[in-house]
Chain A
Amino acid sequence: MTEITTEKARIGAPSAQPFINGFTEEGESLSPINSATSKAPLAGEAVKRHSHGGGVGIPDSSRAGRLTSYNLADFKPLTGLEEDWRFTPLKRLRGLHSEVLSGAAPTVTVSGPERVTVETVARGDKRIGSAGIPEDRVSANAWENFSEATVLTIPAGFEADAEITVVIEGTSTEAAAQHVVIVAEKFSKAIVVLGHQGTAVVSENIEIVVEDGANLTVVSLQEWNDDAVHASSQQAKIGRDAKLKHVVVSLGGDLVRVTPSARFTAPGGEVEMFGLYFADAGQHLEQRLFVDHAVANCKSNVLYKGALQGRNAHAVWVGDVLIRKEAEGTDSYEANRNLLLTDGARADSVPNLEIETGLIKGAGHASATGRLDDEHLFYLMARGIPEDVARRLVVRGFLHEIIQQIKVPALEERLTEAVERELAVTNN
């Protein structure tokens, strides 16, 4: 099992963190001196190094150069060789990348404080496109095909005392498109929980606008049925002194690919991005995130943790952090930790850190994949604890670090139970 360490790699203290038996630790922290000379520090070579379980390395170019467009036609048909699709089994996308997404979109049901407004709007609404522009073909396909969008607005200055729950319920396997816009107006404060459930084949664009001084938490739960296929682009725009906490929890579904992006548009912004995933036999759970430090004095902290069990359980984590030339005073850290509970599971973990200015507070990344350690199990079992209970204790501890970030007690409890259920499946 892993040692949980949230200690940041810091300039001036680039020491290797202590790590636990059975873990491979990869990480580096870049000092201003050498980072200025390393233009694309994490191209090809690093990609290879950071793939656990045998990923192939393809040199990638700077994230800044990635094609973005509202037009599907601008994206070439996918072959699977593209850098951002190379881990995804396209066959299992069930047409999200190639078909017209004409199926009925999953239904959206919102509950929460009265002052939060919920509107269903047509494609032409001016808020659509306010935070996002598709970064890949599947997202562009949804953009091209959605018929109406849900817009959720937390009014200026309003501090919600209860969370806003958005249940996104799928009932069909016809490929569909979904669009949701969340606007946290100036100095508002709220927690929005997006609960994806049921059965669906859906490509989704979620736009998140965090206006100046707002403090928004968005939790995206993927608790789909076993046959669901879900691609979700979640793009956030962060205003001056605004704060976004983004939490991705992927548990259910055949293939789930979440691609969150956070873009700073003014100084003083802060994002925390957390992720928790539990891949079972045959499941493909992918998360690719992007933090765009485009302005000065912003802060980002990323931690994704995943457990994998069973044959062909596959998790992918790619973390692109770009610190542009303008982004002086940036403070950034990203880490991914995986725990392989059985043989036959595979975790690919690729942190990409690009730094274009030397004048930063800190930038670091880490990636580690470990196996549940026999010595841990032996210790617990030597105290009379049966093996299945011992495993549960360890995994619960590993994932709890993420769950406790959510700070919604009822939701934390529910997720803890969901993790227990995932673990119960191991015991055969």
Chain B
Amino acid sequence: MSTLEIKDLHVSIDTEQGTKEILKGVSLTIKTGQTHAIMGPNGSGKSTLASTIAGHPRYKVTSGTITLDGEDVLAMTVDQRARAGLFLAMQYPVEVPGVSMTNFLRTAKTAIDGEAPKLRTWTKDVKAAMAQLRIDADFAERNVNEGFSGGEKKRVEILQLELFKPKFAILDETDSGLDVDALKVVSEGVNRAHEAGNMGTLLITHYTRILRYIKPDFVHVFVDGQVVEEGGPELADRLEDEGYDRYATGAGAATIAAAAQA
């Protein structure tokens, strides 16, 4: 049983116009076995939260903490975080020319486990995982994400999720750009990863569509760098009907309080 705890997190980025605060005090606790959905409009800071957890150098934490079972995640390098059990499925996975998928997957698995996987079982595992996600076998020979379509990139992110077996998975809009069939395939992948009972998930999404396939235990509504409302799965249904309009940015806490009473 593990716990990922985010406390009063403030994050800024440097822009040409100066420093801009994007996360304005985010607190969130996720435990093994739980699925938390984070929902919010474009630009509300969802990817910023995800990238900050993963340790992207662009995002500067100005105050607050992130801990994994009490260990200070913010003190870890990007690769240490991954080896500690954090996995970020990116909204826009990067193409890495010159590095084959096969080589990449084996190198990453070796780094995460601290030892090289047994070649025979590993090759079999990769093949099986690819088949389940309906990824063509020849993708293994291609360079990481190079020339993959948006949907293919997302499947390959989930492929890694299944192979690397992290303690916590942060899925940043894994659903966007997927057609209904692909959405199902990808969701099944996430659910399989969950089944073993050793993973917690932070599912970032803009739409409720994916929540038909992946059932969240908690839903957090994210607006302008803050969690403005929290609840169970029923909150997602309400968002489906009402959208984010009632959390109109800048309207302030009064609106949120009013909405909560409604």
Question: Chain A interface (Cβ within 8 Å of chain B)?
Answer: 1-4, 20, 374-376, 378-387, 389-390, 393-394, 396-398, 400-401
Q: How far is the CA of A398 from the CA of B100 in the complex (A)?
A: 11
- Asked if A2 and B97 make an inter-chain contact with CB atoms under 8 angstroms apart, the answer reads yes
Enumerate the 3 nearest inter-chain pairs by beta-carbon distance, A residue then B residue, closest first.
A397-B98, A384-B82, A383-B108
- Asked if A384 and B111 make an inter-chain contact with CB atoms under 8 angstroms apart, the answer reads yes
**B160 adjacent to chain A (CB < 8 Å):** yes
Q: How far is the CA of A1 from the CA of B82 in the complex (A)?
A: 22
Chain B, residue nearest A386 (CB): B79
**B93 adjacent to chain A (CB < 8 Å):** yes
5 contacts between A and B (CB under 8 A): A2-B97, A376-B96, A378-B56, A385-B108, A387-B77
- Asked if B57 and A374 make an inter-chain contact with CB atoms under 8 angstroms apart, the answer reads yes
Chain A residues whose CB sits within 8 angstroms of the CB of B164 once the complex forms: 383-384
Chain B, residue nearest A387 (CB): B79
Chain A residues whose CB sits within 8 angstroms of the CB of B57 once the complex forms: 374, 378
Least CB distance from A214 to B in Å reads 33
Q: How far is the CA of A396 from the CA of B95 in the complex (A)?
A: 16
**B143 adjacent to chain A (CB < 8 Å):** yes
Q: How far is the CA of A396 from the CA of B96 in the complex (A)?
A: 12
- Asked if B54 and A382 make an inter-chain contact with CB atoms under 8 angstroms apart, the answer reads yes
- Asked if A383 and B111 make an inter-chain contact with CB atoms under 8 angstroms apart, the answer reads yes
Chain A, residue nearest B146 (CB): A3
Q: Tell me which residues from 25 to 56 in chain B have a Cβ below 8 Å from any Cβ of chain A.
A: 54-56
Q: How far is the CA of A390 from the CA of B99 in the complex (A)?
A: 10
- Asked if A382 and B97 make an inter-chain contact with CB atoms under 8 angstroms apart, the answer reads no
**B62 adjacent to chain A (CB < 8 Å):** no
- Asked if A397 and B99 make an inter-chain contact with CB atoms under 8 angstroms apart, the answer reads yes
Number of interface residues of B (CB under 8 A): 31
- Asked if A384 and B93 make an inter-chain contact with CB atoms under 8 angstroms apart, the answer reads no
- Asked if B111 and A393 make an inter-chain contact with CB atoms under 8 angstroms apart, the answer reads no
Least CB distance from A381 to B in Å reads 4
Chain B, residue nearest A375 (CB): B94
- Asked if B107 and A389 make an inter-chain contact with CB atoms under 8 angstroms apart, the answer reads yes
A393-B97 CB under 8 A given contacts A378-B57, A382-B78: no
Chain B at the A interface: SS class = mixed
Beyond A397-B98, A401-B98, list 19 extra A-B contacts (CB 8 Å).
A4-B97, A4-B98, A378-B56, A379-B90, A379-B96, A380-B104, A381-B79, A382-B55, A383-B108, A383-B111, A384-B108, A384-B164, A385-B79, A385-B108, A387-B77, A394-B98, A396-B98, A397-B99, A397-B100
- Which of B77, B94, B164 is most buried by chain A, counting CB atoms within 10 A of its CB? B94
**B83 adjacent to chain A (CB < 8 Å):** yes
Q: How far is the CA of A396 from the CA of B143 in the complex (A)?
A: 13
Residue B97 contacts which of A20, A385, A390 (CB distance < 8 angstroms)? A20
Q: How far is the CA of A1 from the CA of B98 in the complex (A)?
A: 9
Q: How far is the CA of A394 from the CA of B57 in the complex (A)?
A: 19
Chain B residues whose CB sits within 8 angstroms of the CB of A384 once the complex forms: 79, 82-83, 108, 111-112, 164
A397-B97 CB under 8 A given contacts A383-B111, A386-B111, A389-B111: yes
Chain A, residue nearest B103 (CB): A393
- Asked if B78 and A378 make an inter-chain contact with CB atoms under 8 angstroms apart, the answer reads yes
Chain B, residue nearest A397 (CB): B98
**B88 adjacent to chain A (CB < 8 Å):** yes
Q: When each residue 122-162 of chain B gets 1 if its CB lies under 8 Å from chain A and 0 otherwise, what string results?
A: 00000000000000000000011010000000000000100
Chain A, residue nearest B107 (CB): A385
Residue A385 contacts which of B56, B88, B98, B111 (CB distance < 8 angstroms)? B111
Least CB distance from A127 to B in Å reads 42
- Asked if A378 and B94 make an inter-chain contact with CB atoms under 8 angstroms apart, the answer reads yes
- Asked if A393 and B99 make an inter-chain contact with CB atoms under 8 angstroms apart, the answer reads yes
Chain A, residue nearest B93 (CB): A379
Least CB distance from B98 to A in Å reads 2
Least CB distance from B179 to A in Å reads 25
Q: How far is the CA of A260 from the CA of B259 in the complex (A)?
A: 76
Q: How far is the CA of A2 from the CA of B81 in the complex (A)?
A: 27
Q: How far is the CA of A394 from the CA of B54 in the complex (A)?
A: 21
Q: How far is the CA of A384 from the CA of B107 in the complex (A)?
A: 9
Least CB distance from B68 to A in Å reads 14
- Asked if A394 and B99 make an inter-chain contact with CB atoms under 8 angstroms apart, the answer reads yes
Q: How far is the CA of A381 from the CA of B146 in the complex (A)?
A: 18
Q: How far is the CA of A20 from the CA of B98 in the complex (A)?
A: 12
Residue B96 contacts which of A386, A387, A394 (CB distance < 8 angstroms)? A394
Chain B residues whose CB sits within 8 angstroms of the CB of A20 once the complex forms: 95, 97
- Asked if B78 and A381 make an inter-chain contact with CB atoms under 8 angstroms apart, the answer reads yes
Chain B residues whose CB sits within 8 angstroms of the CB of A3 once the complex forms: 95, 97, 146
Least CB distance from A53 to B in Å reads 22
Least CB distance from A400 to B in Å reads 7
A382-B93 CB under 8 A given contacts A393-B103, A394-B99, A396-B98: no
Chain B, residue nearest A393 (CB): B99
Residue A397 contacts which of B79, B108, B111, B143 (CB distance < 8 angstroms)? B143
Chain B residues whose CB sits within 8 angstroms of the CB of A374 once the complex forms: 57
Least CB distance from B146 to A in Å reads 8
Chain A residues whose CB sits within 8 angstroms of the CB of B78 once the complex forms: 378, 381-382
Chain B residues whose CB sits within 8 angstroms of the CB of A1 once the complex forms: 96-98
Least CB distance from B157 to A in Å reads 10
Q: How far is the CA of A394 from the CA of B160 in the complex (A)?
A: 19
Chain A residues whose CB sits within 8 angstroms of the CB of B107 once the complex forms: 385, 389, 393
- Asked if A393 and B79 make an inter-chain contact with CB atoms under 8 angstroms apart, the answer reads no
Chain A, residue nearest B144 (CB): A379
Q: How far is the CA of A411 from the CA of B127 in the complex (A)?
A: 32
